[in-house]
Amino acid sequence: MMRNVAVIGYGVVGSGTVELFERNREDICRKIGRDCDIKYICDLRDFPGDKYEDRLIKDFNIILNDDEIEVVAEVVGGATFAYDYTKKLLERGKSVVTSNKELVATHGAELLEIAKEHNCNYLFEASVGGGIPIIRPLNKCLAGNKIMQISGILNGTTNFILTKMIREQMDFESALKMAQELGYAEADPTADVEGHDACRKICILGSLAFGKHIYPQYVHCSGISRITLDDVEYAENAGYAIKLVGTAKPEGDGRISVIVCPRLVPKSNLLSSVDDVYNAISVTGDGSGDVLFYGRGAGKLPTASAVVGDIIDCLKHQGRIIMIGWDDCTDKSYVVPYKTIENNMYVRIKAADAESLKPAVSELFGKVMYLERNGRPDDELAFITPRMVEGDIDANLEQLSASASIESKIRLL
């Protein structure tokens, strides 16, 4: 019996990984063509009476120093301890697979390089889109393409909240509360709601697709907490659904644009039909055209599915590099400033006599499309601007703010 796998972190994803691996172990052995099993589960907590209590350890060094261990699933999360663990394991030539998007987004280029130097693998299919296969398809199946655009609904919590707002006219606060009650949102929902989680994921996808590391701190990121039911209704009436979307796109000059923000997604785009906690990623290749991947973006077993898939790939290719990695990027201007990117913009304003501002709006923006909603009050106007550089839109809104209050500003996809 080969016991060549270890799991670090016995929380939701860790226990799912152990459960799925053990359930399908016979099949897994057939697939890799040899025996395998989980030897250690490392966690600082006690789990008295746990089915796998005999494999639980607290000292990470036992794993590091055990030559039988070929692959380690790091499902601890965070970018401090996990960084240290991962580095040490890779330096010993042990492959590491992970669901830790924070770590990949922060140190991915470095860790991939270390893995390469030590002839082992660092795989992270579980870091984006939970159970949805996206990393490997992008890295392998679409490798013959120039990627023209990636757009994704990458966070299940915010998509659940927006779905409740769209389908049941629940306001943001109530929908968030419901998400928390159902266990979809954490007590402190900032990372989800403000788009930081989605930001890490689009950085990983963009790094992979365009070959250079994209650091989250250079990415413009805004969340969904200021979206109102009025915005949802205006959008709906005009044939759009509001979704939190991460986009990454080459600008043609060697630089890229990467943004995470709510967007008005046209109903003709399948992303607009992605509801509840589901995620979806649309990739446009110069050969493949639009390809879409859809499924459960989080959760115990879906995420475990991706972790176990990576474990199998590592075991099957022990001692050989299987990923096409990406380079580090020290160029701070690689990600273009979002103010220089062109967008159509949805704008909602308030002013005592809003109708009277229409000539001023036309003068500033040219031909805009006005939107309607049931019982639109006289002091409100909502419109979609022509495609313009965002800095120019903002300058116009600044001027407009002398006579109106700018309530909402949401980009179109």
Report, in Å, the least distance between residue 28 CB and a second copy.
7
Q: Which tokens belong to 93?
A: 């030539």
Report, in Å, the least distance between residue 227 CB and a second copy.
25
CA atoms of 237 and 349, how far apart (whole Å): 17
Report, in Å, the least distance between residue 287 CB and a second copy.
3
SS3 state at 280: strand
* Residue 386, Cβ density class (10 Å: 0-12 exposed, 13-18 middle, ≥19 buried): middle
Report, in Å, the least distance between residue 364 CB and a second copy.
39
Dihedral sign for Cα atoms in the order 131, 136, 139, 143: negative
Report, in Å, the least distance between residue 142 CB and a second copy.
6
SS3 state at 275: coil
Which of 41, 381 has the CB closer to a second copy? 41
Q: What are phi and psi of 278, to 5 degrees?
A: -70, 150
Q: Are strands 71-74 and 56-57 parallel, antiparallel or unpaired?
A: unpaired
Which of 90, 142 has the CB closer to a second copy? 142
Report, in Å, the least distance between residue 148 CB and a second copy.
12
Which of 251, 378 has the CB closer to a second copy? 251
Binding site for a second copy (CB under 8 A): 16, 20-21, 23-24, 27-28, 30-31, 125, 131-133, 136-137, 140-146, 211, 270, 273, 285-296, 299, 301-302, 304-309, 311-313, 316-317, 320, 322, 324
Angle, vertex CA 165, rays to CA 160 and CA 168, nearest 5: 105
Name beta bridge partners: 315: none
**Which residues lie below 8 Å from residue 199, measured CB to CB, with a gap of 6+?**
105, 216, 219, 221, 246, 260
Which of 100, 222 has the CB closer to a second copy? 100
Dihedral sign for Cα atoms in the order 361, 366, 367, 369: negative
Return the H-helix or E-strand segment holding 16. Answer: helix 12-23
Give the closest residue to 118 by CA, choosing from 80, 88, 75, 98: 88
Q: What are phi and psi of 124, to 5 degrees?
A: -150, 40
* Residue 266, Cβ density class (10 Å: 0-12 exposed, 13-18 middle, ≥19 buried): middle
Give the residue carrying structure tokens 């400033």.
337
Catalytic residue among 201, 212, 243, 409: 201
Report, in Å, the least distance between residue 144 CB and a second copy.
3
Which of 276, 353 has the CB closer to a second copy? 276
Q: Is residue 220 within 8 Å of residue 203, measured between CB atoms?
A: no
Which of 52, 218 has the CB closer to a second copy? 52
Which of 58, 140 has the CB closer to a second copy? 140
Report, in Å, the least distance between residue 128 CB and a second copy.
12
Q: Is residue 156 within 8 Å of residue 131, measured between CB atoms?
A: no
- The answer to whether 201 is a known catalytic residue is yes
Which of 29, 395 has the CB closer to a second copy? 29
**Which residues lie below 8 Å from residue 327, measured CB to CB, with a gap of 6+?**
109, 211, 212, 213
**Residue 3: Cβ within 10 Å count:** 15
Task: Give catalytic residues, as residue numbers.
Answer: 201
